[in-house]
Structure 1
Amino acid sequence: MDMMKDDDGRQRTGTVWTATVHAITAVVGSGVLALPWSVAQMGWIFGPIALIAFAVITYYTALLLSDCYRSPDPVTGQRNYTYMGVVKSCLEKKYVVICGIIQYIMLWGTIVGYAITAATSMMAVKRSNCLHYKGHDASCGTSGTSYMLIYGGIEIILSQFPNLEKITLLSVMAAAMSFMYSFIALFLCLVKFASHHKFRGTLIGVNPGVNGISETTKVWHSFQALGNIAFAYTFAMLLVEIQDTIKSPPPENETMKKASLYGLGVTTIFYVSLGCVGYMAFGNNVPGNVLTGFYEPFWLVDIANLAVLIHLIGAFQVYAQPMFTFFEKWLASKYPSAVFFHKVYAIWLPFTKAYFRFTICKLVFRTLFCIITIAVAMILPFFNAILGLLGSIAFWPLTVYFPVTMYISQAKIKRGSNKWLALQSLSMIALVVSLVSAVGSVADIAERLKHAKLFSVTF
């Protein structure tokens, strides 16, 4: 029996559970590994408060954005298939260009961050094995250049999947891996805490006089930590694309709100637990990527890092597929009669009944995209600084400003009313947070570039 088609002629198969899986895959990524370090920069007072505050803000704005998928009515209105489509429907044309630039910079930047983290995880596996067999005092430095190239090769192949709906299985596997390495990292931190029985950390976090950093660096790192936490929760730029995979009835906004609650609820529990337990275990000396602070049991550390790698292989595609779809449609519309963009070729896949269908544009564009992404990741292999900068770029405009502004427009909230003032105040607070975290991240990147070697990823 054929499935029922939606009001736009498409067949959607997404449910609250598939949307939740996509949301978890998009939210839980490399950012979770930097949370103990982020808490350490702010201490026991402001660290946990920041983790919970960002979760609440992200969830609230996700609810606002879910109601904008259809406009002007959130249940019966016309569909908006992308984040930029929502902006175009609710706001003036100039906002569409601004939103598009920010959204795709963030999506691409996140993928660059994933490539850096994937290489770091593979290097950590090699390092933990080396230290296990040669002793913890052995010299076990390793290069991640070859590992990053391998990761890029895998993504070139996977990038040929046609769209986000076709990688649901990959997304499910990635989400499962995110649970695995989060649990392992939490377990390892608990074991470390149990080994010394000391509640480490301080109320104000890293102390410049004790931990060997200057007052200025302390400030920059504290700002950068806010960006790291913002990055860890960011998924607004994919929410509409995920919502567009959901079948109805019930209304898509109801399903997406539940998926946002479940997805962000689960990840917040992980984030607060890992951030606080990791800080409790390591204190102010917690590493930027918490998994790199463990060498034993080496087999469990290896499993965790391999789970990170598998998760990031899937997450790369969750972030990249909307970009592929947008640019390929745009190029096809610009050149409606060009064979390069429109002629579909088919190759039979051995031992299956399926065919691999592609255009030359799809093959070339997606391959070049992956190559350029890996090249940039090799130039800027700064884990925490990159995460902080990405978080600061995305948090205010994509997670807060556009959802708030579009909701005000669609819901026709009266200017000057209590709700309007509350929403605008939220937007202003988010702007300040984004600005200070961006300053901190840029300062750290500038300092690290003084000592960096191009196309050299070391650990």
Structure 2
Amino acid sequence: MGTEAQSGRRNHVENDPKDELVRKDVVLDKWLPITSSRNAKWWYSAFHNVTAMVGAGVLGLPFAMAELGWGPGMAVLIISWVVTLYTLWQMVEMHEMVPGRRFDRYHELGQYAFGEKLGLWIVVPQQLIVEVGVCIVYMVTGGNSLKKFHDLVCDNCQSIKTTYFIMIFASIHYVLSQLPNFNSISGVSLAAAVMSLSYSTIAWAASLHKGKMEDVDYGYKASTPAGTVLSFFGALGEVAFAYAGHNVVLEIQATIPSTPEKPSKKPMWRGVLLAYVVVALCYFPVALLGYWAFGNAVKDNILVSLARPTWLIAAANMMVVVHVIGSYQIYAMPVFDMIETVLVKKLRFKPSLLLRLISRSSYVSFTMFIAITFPFFGGLLSFFGGFAFAPTTYFLPCIMWLAIYKPKRWSLSWITNWVCIIMGVALMILAPIGGLRLIIVGAKTYRFYS
């Protein structure tokens, strides 16, 4: 009873050590980044979740407020905070819903809820879109913030293309991507979490210090009703992007030890609650004060709108760089786990440092190339936020909860989950439309690799 609750296949190995196939699976589990280490503390959950959630999305919230307006904007922010906290609680609860087994990965829970094959087809494409999409957006964010820092501290220097700054940012990840598992990046994640709180504080404090712009306008920017509606849809995606920790929550919980007496959900939930307090302290002041100061003239990255005091904004941009370095690794780790599982189990490669070096470096190169080619920050937030984040964050946990627990019809649980599902589906349909419009508008004046 005092030993850690393991997956079904590990228990099987103990009963039948001669089973060679299962023995290989256990060896693979000990090599893969998600399951290789299970000694994390509850505070690891806190700063991993802060790093996963408070990222590029917080910088775009004032811009989202400008497209939503005061009333709808406040409502969307508060509803999203409540709904995503609820669905995150569901994920934490479902991690060990089967005695003696842990759902260490999102798709494993999906397979239990929907069946072995259907679960993979439902969850894996959406999760990959989210995680790869976040990595691409963070490549853009890191490169833009590095460029902004350079331009602020070196006013008379020759201008350098954003492309080169994205490449500089990517070079860091060629090194960090070789760290084996979640626990090995805990130091990077802690630094990222501290930076997220720091630059968010700078963003709202600098907005408050600056005060309202002269002739500030809180009306909608678009000149036509159609443009206003599409911008509104895009803003929904930007908010959805800001609440994105669900895609890695099971993988984070997998690193926490668990016994029947002390299940992992208790320390995990403690960390999640602390993380959501930090989320509220970051999101709401930045969104409201950024919009209050600049109105509909605010940029899609609030730090771009803020230019004074120079040293403070330069420091904030460098904090963003440190934070998205950690966030990139948090979202890349489950992708590394999937890639390495396929390479070893399907393509029969041997687990090795060389395999890890080639596969992870190839992934970093891919995300860097896409980021260099399509660096449309606001549009990317909206598109990915609606297309993929809405399902995996707002309503897929609710569907799995209904499928597994089968609450009584018209009970509070049944009604709550169906309300979340309806809102999430509407978000998934509407937000990508607005995001695609932002990308098209940005593409009109964009020159490739500039």
What TM-score results when the alignment is normalised by the length of structure 1?
0.86
Deviation at 1:71, TM superposition (A): 3.0
Structure 2 partner of 1:109:
133
For each residue in 1:341-397, what CA deviation from the matched residue of structure 2 results, as whole angstroms up to 9, or x when unmatched?
3163xxxxxxxxxxxxx1x22111111111111110011111111011111023332
Aligned counterpart in structure 1 of residue 251 of structure 2, from 235, 238, 241 = 241
2:59 is equivalent to residue 33 of structure 1: yes
Superposed CA offset, 1:265-306 (max 9, x none): 211221111100011111121111110112222111111000
Q: 1:63 offset after TM fit, Å?
A: 0.8
Aligned to 2:232: 222
After TM superposition, the structure 1 = structure 2 runs for residues 100-139 of structure 1, keeping only pairs within 5 Å, are 100-131=124-155
The SS at the match of 2:357 is helix
Report the counterpart of residue 376 of structure 1 in structure 2: 370
Residue-by-residue CA offset, 1:103-143 (whole Å, 9 max, x unaligned): 01110000000000111101111222355x69xxxxx8652
1:84 and 2:103 aligned: no
Q: 1:274 aligns with which of 286, 296, 311?
A: 286
Whether 2:311 is the aligned partner of 1:299: answer: yes
What's the CA shift for 1:415?
A: 4.4
Take 1:182 and 1:455, find their aligned partners in 2: how far apart are those partners?
30
1:184 to 202, 218, 221: 202
- Tell me by how many angstroms 1:45 deviates: 0.9
Q: Alpha-carbon deviations, 1:155-212, whole Å to 9, x = none?
A: 1111111111211111111111111111111111111117x6x79553xx4254xxxx
Tell me how far apart the structure 2 counterparts of residues 151 and 298 of structure 1 sit (CA, whole Å): 22
Per-residue CA distance 1:27-62 (angstroms, 9 max, x = gap): 010111011111111111111111111110100001
C-alpha deviation, 1:77, in angstroms = 4.3
Does the 8 Å CA contact 1:174/1:314 hold for their aligned counterparts? yes
Q: Does the C-alpha gap of structure 1 residues 328 and 305 become closer, same or farther in structure 2, counting only changes over 3 Å?
A: same
TM score, norm. by length of structure 2: 0.88
Using the alignment, how far apart are the partners of 2:344 and 2:194 within structure 1? 36
Give SS of 1:342's match: coil
Aligned 8 A contact 2:37 2:181 in 1 = no
Deviations 1:316-345 (A, max 9, x none): 111101110121022101244xxxx3163x
2:419 aligned with 1:405, yes or no? no
Identify if the C-alpha distance between structure 1 residues 450 and 261 changes in structure 2 by more than 3 Å, giving closer, same or farther.
same
Q: Give the alignment of 1:33-72 within 5 angstroms.
A: 33-72=59-98
Contact 1:201 1:280 in 2 (8 A): no
- Whether 1:385 and 2:379 are equivalent positions in the alignment is yes
Would the aligned equivalents of 2:236 and 2:431 in 1 still touch at CA under 8 Å? yes
What root-mean-square deviation, in Å, do the aligned CA atoms of Structure 1 and Structure 2 show?
Answer: 2.1
Contact 1:200 1:279 in 2 (8 A): no
- What corresponds to 1:170 in structure 2? 188
Distance apart, 1:410 and its partner CA: 2.6
Name the residue aligned to 1:334.
Answer: 346
Relative to 1, partners in 2 of residues 1:60 and 1:418: Cα closer, same or farther, differing over 3 Å? Answer: closer
Which of 422, 431, 438 is matched with 2:416 structurally?
422
- 1-side partners of 2:76 and 2:102: how far apart? 35
Partner of 1:311: 323
* Partner amino acid, structure 1, of 2:110: V
Deviation at 1:449, TM superposition (A): 2.4
TM-aligned CA deviation for residue 450 of structure 1: 3.1
Contact (CA 8 Å) 1:375, 1:455: kept in 2 or not?
A: no
1:448, CA displacement in angstroms? 2.3
Say whether the 8 Å CA contact 2:113–2:119 is kept in structure 1: no
Gaps of 5+ in 1: 135-139, 345-357
Q: Could you tell me which amino acid in structure 1 is paired with residue 324 of structure 2?
A: L
Other-structure match for 2:164: 146
Cα shift at 1:412: 2.7
What's the offset of the Cα at 1:221?
Answer: 1.5
- Paired with 1:343 and 1:83, the residues of 2 have a C-alpha distance of 23
Deviation track 1:10-37 (CA, whole Å, cap 9, x = no partner) reads: 7622222110100000001011101111
1:262 aligns with 2:274: yes
Q: Flag the 1:193–1:166 CA change in 2: closer, same or farther, 3 A.
A: same
Pairwise CA distance, 1:152: 1.1
The total of aligned residue pairs comes to: 418
Other structure's SS at 2:69 match: helix
